[in-house]
């Protein structure tokens, strides 16, 4: 059995009550921290949305940190602890209400608006969705930290549009090859690694000649 213990109560929370006829037991004392200016955004541990609820769970003496998005948090809170077969009760938790109570403190950087769609970083933070592709340029400094947190990376290494200019296509090819090279080395496939290194070198030479 898992015993969920939640610490750090910051916001008064309306406890969900059991529905008639359901097997659901009200959740034990509940605690969480809402995103404030000091918290870094994390990715939901159950899906890929941005987590808005952070829970410390103690399982058999082991401490687990859980970061959940709004919809997964609803599921989590309404789930009878560690019982998969039981009915899933539809207890409503007023998240929007809770979010309002804990607005992050005013920070001038958070108020800068995207000239193209008008969204501010603060707005993005509360909604978890950006407004337009430009935002990746406007909020680049903030996004670096966020992306590093979510993906553990800040540089794309994958497919690129065929329409991309030739120079950036080569750039991508290089990134991809370096990536493959790392993997080959890790897997001790030295033959493949040597082949990749040659390819990288010739590509780099070609790029230097062009500039």
Partner 1 sequence: MKLDELTKTSGEWLRGSGPETDIVISSRIRLARNLARYPFPNRADNATRKEITQLLGSNLKELERSNPLYVWDIGSLEEVDRQLLVERQLISRDLAEKDGARAVAISYEENVSVMINEEDHLRIQVLNSGFSLDECWEAINLLDDQIESKVTYAFSDQFGYLTACPTNVGTGIRVSVMLHLPALVLTKEIQKVFQALQKINLTVRGLYGEGSQAMGDFYQISTQITLGLSEQQLIKKLQEVIPSILEWERRARKALVAANREALHDQISRAYGILQSAQTISSEETMHLLSSVRMGINLDLIHELEIPTVNELFIHTQPAHLQKLHGEKLESADRNIARATYLRERLAESNGTAE
Q: Which span (20-28, 57-65, 97-105, 134-142) binds Zn ion, by CB under 5 A?
A: 134-142
Contact partner at residue 178 from partner 1, Zn ion, none, CB < 5 to 8 Å by partner kind: none
Counting contacts by CB under 8 A, is residue 72 touching partner 1?
yes
Of 129, 187, 201, 202, the residue at the interface with partner 1 (CB under 8 A) is 129
Counting contacts by CB under 8 A, is residue 190 touching partner 1?
no
Task: Give whichever of 65 and 101 is closer to partner 1, judged by the CB atom.
Answer: 65
Counting contacts by CB under 8 A, is residue 133 touching partner 1?
yes
User: In whole angstroms, how close is the CB of 64 to partner 1 at the nearest point?
Assistant: 9
User: In whole angstroms, how close is the CB of 175 to partner 1 at the nearest point?
Assistant: 9
3-state secondary structure of 196: helix
Tell me what percent of the chain is helix, strand and coil, each rounded to the nearest 5: 40, 10, 50
In the range 33-72, which residues lie near Zn ion by CB under 5 A?
A: 44, 46-47, 49, 69, 72
Separation of alpha carbons 43 and 48, rounded Å: 6
Instruction: Report the alpha-carbon angle 113-117-118, nearest 5.
Output: 30
Nearest C-alpha neighbor of 99 from the set 39, 43, 33, 44: 33
Nearest C-alpha neighbor of 56 from the set 98, 1, 8, 10: 8
Query: What is the DSSP secondary-structure string of 133-157?
Result: TTHHHHTHHHHHHHHHHHHS--S--
DSSP 210: H
Q: Residue 146 CB: number of other CB atoms within 10 A?
A: 19
Given the structure tokens 């903030």, which residue do they identify?
142
Q: What sign results for the dihedral spanned by CA atoms 149, 128, 156, 192?
A: positive
Counting contacts by CB under 5 A, is residue 116 touching Zn ion?
yes
Counting contacts by CB under 5 A, is residue 196 touching Zn ion?
no
Of 89, 131, 179, 195, the residue at the interface with Zn ion (CB under 5 A) is 131
Q: Rule CB under 8 A: which residues touch partner 1?
A: 43, 45-50, 71-72, 74-75, 82, 84-85, 87-88, 116-117, 119, 127-133, 136-137, 143, 146-147, 150-164, 168, 171-172, 176, 179, 183
List residues binding Zn ion (CB under 5 A): 44, 46-47, 49, 69, 72, 114, 116-117, 131-132, 134-135
């Amino acid at each position: 059995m898992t015993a969920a213990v939640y610490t750090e109560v910051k916001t008064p929370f309306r406890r969900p009550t059991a529905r008639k006829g359901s097997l659901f037991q009200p959740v034990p004392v509940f605690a969480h921290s809402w995103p404030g200016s000091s918290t870094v955004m994390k990715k939901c541990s159950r899906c890929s949305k941005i987590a808005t609820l952070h829970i410390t769970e103690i399982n058999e003496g082991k401490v687990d940190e859980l970061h959940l998005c709004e919809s997964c948090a609803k599921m989590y809170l309404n789930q009878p602890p560690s019982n998969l077969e039981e009915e899933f009760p539809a207890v409503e938790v007023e998240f929007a209400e809770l979010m309002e109570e804990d607005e992050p403190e005013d920070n001038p950087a958070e108020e800068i608006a995207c000239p193209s769609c008008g969204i501010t970083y603060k707005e993005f933070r509360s909604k978890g969705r950006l407004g337009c592709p430009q935002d990746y340029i406007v909020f680049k400094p903030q996004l670096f930290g966020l992306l590093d947190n979510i993906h553990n990376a800040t540089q794309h290494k994958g497919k690129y549009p065929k329409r991309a200019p030739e120079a950036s296509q080569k750039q991508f090819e290089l990134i991809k090859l370096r990536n493959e090279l790392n993997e080959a080395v890790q897997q001790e496939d030295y033959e493949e690694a040597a082949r990749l290194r040659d390819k990288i070198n010739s590509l780099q030479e070609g790029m230097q000649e062009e500039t």
